[in-house]
Chain A
Amino acid sequence: MGSNTTEAHPIIGNRIKKAAKGGLQIVVIDPRSIDMVKSAHKHLQINVGTDIALINAMIHVIIKEGLYDQGFIGKHTEDFDALQAKVARYTPEYSAELTGLSAEEIAEVARMYATSSKSMIAYTLGITEHHCGVNNVFDIANLALLTGQIGKKGSGIMPLRGQNNVQGAGDMGCLPNQLTGAVSLLNDDYRQRFEKAWNVEISQKVGDTQTRTFDKIETGEIKALYCIGENPLLADVHMNHTRTLLEKLDLLIVQDIFMTETAEMADVVLPAKSWGEVDGTYTNTDRRVQRVRTAIEAQPNVKEDWEILCDLSTLMGYPMSYQSSEGIWDEVRELAWEMYGGITYARLENEYGIHYPCPDESHPGTKILHERFHADKEAERRSSFVPVDFTPPLEKPDELYPFTLTTGRRYESYNTHTQTRHYAAGVKIKQTEETLDIHPVDAARLNINNGDLVKVSSRRGSLTVKTKITEQVVPGLVFMSFHWSEVPTNVLTLNEYDPISGTAEFKACAVKIETIA
């Protein structure tokens, strides 16, 4: 669901396609006719942002036809009645209207998912980058709990993560509400463990998400931002607004490997070591901790991220010093031992990767989470269903802005393209610049030929871009990535956010398209 796996996670895409040849049935749920559709048993080409309408109707069918796992629900869950009441009105016919699908295909996929011995849901930002992203995820969890498709091999919920170490960064405690090991900082015992080791009192005030940070820059409550290896000016929604906010800061520190668009606005820029020059561990999308190793001597006058922070820390009166990444990792292992205690560098040398939780050195690591659901003992705690309602995208197309723009990634480029501008010589790149992907019917109606330059505008900004006529999109829907600073797609996107996660609605906004004479 909402994952263009072959372009954004090509190797996972390969493995899924290979499994399809061995009998795996794939259902692609995506508004675009992405490459994976070719290997899929079925494609539900839903309207952008109607995932909950679809999932609720699937739940409706599964309950009505008695295809749910009654034993599992009785033993492990709560609030089944509330779920049943919530989905009552989401008949396949009702949701067919909302999603643009047929009632029959919704019911068919519901039956496939519920009755298969093993069903798994993989998703990415097509699920989360909506104003209702958290509700979308809740509803996926509802579906998995309803059918017991979780906690056993070949089942479960798999968010495919976009950055090499986005999983690890959060797990290490780079989140406003969690300490290292993914435990709430409001957990007194756990926080005190860190306070003792660090010899400080840790603030019990939960911090701000990036989204809230931008709000508080606007109100003047936040004066300084220290930004490491990230390019929010280009990557975040409503770019013109982001620029105004960054200008408002008293102090912007950027630590990076290139002079990014964000770095150009900074008061101080610090040059960091790059991949290839650093040593340590990354945690991948399936919780596997693996070693990244130094391959080359770093360029002159750059420093590793942790080295810079230790130097600053010491200068500011809290001495920190480590001899190596391994020394830091051993501190992590000691403090968050429930997760990492057994994952030593020595073991990683021999075993390649180990899945956390791995509390001690004799523990093999945990390949499958939530196995307790199928264990032969009384359940210690129950999981609640969280019934949710469908809410349509916040900015719908209208007479002035008649197209829905959805955004995503392309195969050869990575995020704001600061690194993928530098391919090895001789590599043939298919997509060398941004395009507006538009359906032939719309192109004909607007009198646009393939490759024509057009002006695309939303209520927030406009840009000029070449068109690519393709049946990957449907009439009324256009697609762009945000890889090229020359065509800054995020001047168009909408600054509305999920109230719980703070994730912006990158996947839907209204635009108009004008030909350039």
Chain B
Amino acid sequence: MTSKSQVKTVCGYCGTGCGLILEVEDNKIVKIRGDKEAPVNKGQTCVKGAFAYQYVHAPERLNSPMIRKAGQLVKVSWQEAYDYISNRLSALKKDFGPDAISMFACARTTNESNYITQKFMRTVIGSNNIDGCNRT
């Protein structure tokens, strides 16, 4: 039996903010259409919004943390990656100060993730070295 659902969301490409309805079958997006109730686009979509969604299911998606070992990126557990980052960032902060660390935030992720990103920089690291792609 296939499971089908429809989910209302907002497009993840440009800044217009079009409302979309995603048709989902067996945990795969199978169709996207413009949401007629959306105040921004009133049902319209562009080619990217309607059709460029297969990346979500692409086999090339990253599926494991990786650490460079002997020149090569190799798959590791989340715990190993977390420990590595935590140790390295802490050591660099201790040796060179918090402003030796910088963060590029993501203009594609949610407000909620962005709030946490800057909170991480300003609390854990103790620096205001945070910027996004506003300038590109």
Interface digits, B79-116 against A, CB 8 Å rule (1 contact, 0 not)? 00111111011101000101111111111111111111
Cβ A163 vs Cβ B15 within 8 A: yes
Asked if residues A296 and B55 are in contact (CB atoms below 8 Å), the reply is: no
Is the beta-carbon distance between A288 and B40 smaller than 8 angstroms?
Answer: yes
Chain B residue with the shortest CB-CB distance to A299:
B61
When the two chains form their complex, are residues A9 and B111 in contact, meaning their CB atoms are under 8 A apart? no
Q: Which residue in chain B gives the minimum CB-CB distance to A352? A: B39
Task: Check A401 for interface membership: any CB of B closer than 8 A.
Answer: no
A11 lies within 8 A of B12 (CB): no
Q: Answer whether A268 and B111 are a contact pair too, CB < 8 Å, given A206-B128, A295-B22.
A: no
Asked if A164 and B117 sit within 8 Å, CB to CB, the answer is no
B14 in contact with A302 (CB, 8 Å) = no
Please pick, from B124, B128, B134, the residue contacting A312 in the complex, using a CB distance under 8 A.
B124
- The residues of B that contact A284 with a CB separation of less than 8 Å are 10, 15-17, 40
Q: Shortest beta-carbon distance, A491 to chain B, in Å?
A: 16
| One of A164, A258, A296, A329 near B17 (C-beta < 8 A) | A164
Chain B's nearest CB lies how many Å from the CB of A431? 11
Q: Contact check, A224 vs B101: say whether CB atoms are below 8 A apart.
A: yes
* A283: interface (CB < 8 Å): yes
Give the residue name and chain of the B residue nearest to A191 (CB): B122
CB distance from A415 to the nearest CB of B (A): 9
Size of the B side of the interface (Cβ < 8 Å), in residues, is: 97
Q: A282-B110, A302-B61, A414-B13 are in contact. Are A176 and B82 (CB under 8 A)?
A: no
Chain A residues lying within 8 Å of B86, measured Cβ to Cβ, are: 312, 315-316
**Cβ B62 vs Cβ A175 within 8 A:** no
**Complex contact A268–B84 (CB within 8 A):** yes
Cβ-neighbour of B126 out of A164, A203, A311, A420 (below 8 A): A203
Are A504 and B135 in contact, CB atoms less than 8 angstroms apart?
yes
Q: How far apart sit A211 and B82, CA to CA, in the bound complex (Å)?
A: 28
A411 in contact (CB, < 8 A): yes
- Nearest B residue to A12 by beta-carbon distance? B16
**A interface, size bucket:** 35 or more
Q: Which residue of B lies closest to A172 (CB)?
A: B114
User: Knowing A250-B92, A305-B113 touch, does A164 contact B62 (C-beta < 8 A)?
Assistant: no
Please tell me if the beta carbons of B53 and A228 are within 8 angstroms of each other in the complex: no
Q: Identify the closest chain A residue to B77 (Cβ).
A: A301
B133–A224 touching, CB < 8 Å: no
How near does chain A come to B46, taking the closest CB pair, in angstroms? 4
Q: Are A224 and B92 in contact (CB under 8 A)?
A: yes
Q: Is the CB of B117 within 8 A of A228?
A: yes
Question: Cα distance A299–B61 when bound, in Å?
Answer: 9
Which of A38-46, A75-83, A92-100, A421-429 is found at the contact surface with chain B? A421-429
CB distance from B38 to the nearest CB of A (A): 7
The dominant DSSP class at the A interface is: loop
Q: Which residues of A contact B54 (CB under 8 A)?
A: 422-424
Question: Given A185-B128, A222-B101, A423-B54: A281 and B112 within 8 A (CB)?
Answer: yes
Alpha-carbon distance between A281 and B112 when the two chains are bound, in angstroms: 7
Whether A226 touches B101, Cβ cut-off 8 Å, given contacts A259-B60, A424-B53, is: yes
- Tell me which residues across on chain A come within 8 A of B104, comparing CB atoms: 210, 213, 225-228, 230, 232
- On chain A, the residues within 8 Å of B88 by CB distance are 224, 250-251, 267
Decide: A312 and B85 in contact? CB cutoff 8 A.
yes
Our pick among B64, B108, B118, B129 for the contact of A165 (Cβ within 8 Å) is: B108
Are B10 and A282 in touch, CB under 8 angstroms?
Answer: yes
The residues in A between 141 and 179 inclusive whose CB is less than 8 angstroms from any CB of B are 160-177, 179
A264-292 interface with B by 8 A CB criterion = 264, 266-272, 274-286, 288-292
Chain B residue numbers with a CB within 8 Å of A271 are 61-65
Q: Roughly how many angstroms separate A58 CA and B98 CA in the complex, as a whole number?
A: 48
Which residues of A in the span 229-253 have a Cβ within 8 Å of any Cβ on B? 229-230, 232, 235-236, 250-251, 253
Which segment of A317-325, A386-394, A443-451, A460-468 sits at the interface? A317-325
Contacts of A291 in B (CB 8 A): 8-10
Chain A CB count within 10 A is highest, among B62, B89, B90, B101, for B62
Whether A293 sits at the interface, judged by CB under 8 Å, is yes
In contact, B16 and A9 (Cβ under 8 angstroms): yes
**Do the beta carbons of A228 and B109 come within 8 Å of each other?**
yes
User: What residues on A are CB-neighbors of B49 within 8 Å?
Assistant: 11
CB pair A169–B101 under 8 Å, yes or no, is no
Q: Is there an interface contact between A332 and B133, defined as CB atoms closer than 8 Å?
A: no
Q: Sample 5 A-B pairs with CB under 8 A, ordered by A number.
A: A11-B41, A163-B107, A203-B128, A281-B110, A306-B113
The 9 closest A-B pairs by CB, nearest first: A284-B17, A280-B110, A207-B128, A229-B106, A161-B15, A275-B12, A174-B105, A271-B62, A10-B46
> Which positions in B face A, CB cutoff 8 Å?
5, 7-19, 22, 24, 27-29, 37-41, 44-49, 51-56, 58, 60-68, 73, 78, 81-86, 88-90, 92, 96, 98-124, 126-136
Given A222-B99, A277-B56; 8 other pairs, CB 8 A cutoff: A203-B126, A208-B99, A226-B102, A268-B66, A275-B108, A281-B111, A294-B7, A313-B124
Interface residues of A (CB under 8 A from B): 8-12, 14, 129, 160-177, 179-180, 185, 194, 198, 200, 202-203, 205-211, 213, 216, 221-230, 232, 235-236, 250-251, 253, 255-259, 263-264, 266-272, 274-286, 288-297, 299-306, 309-313, 315-318, 320, 322, 325, 328-329, 331-332, 352-353, 411-414, 418-424, 427, 501-504, 506
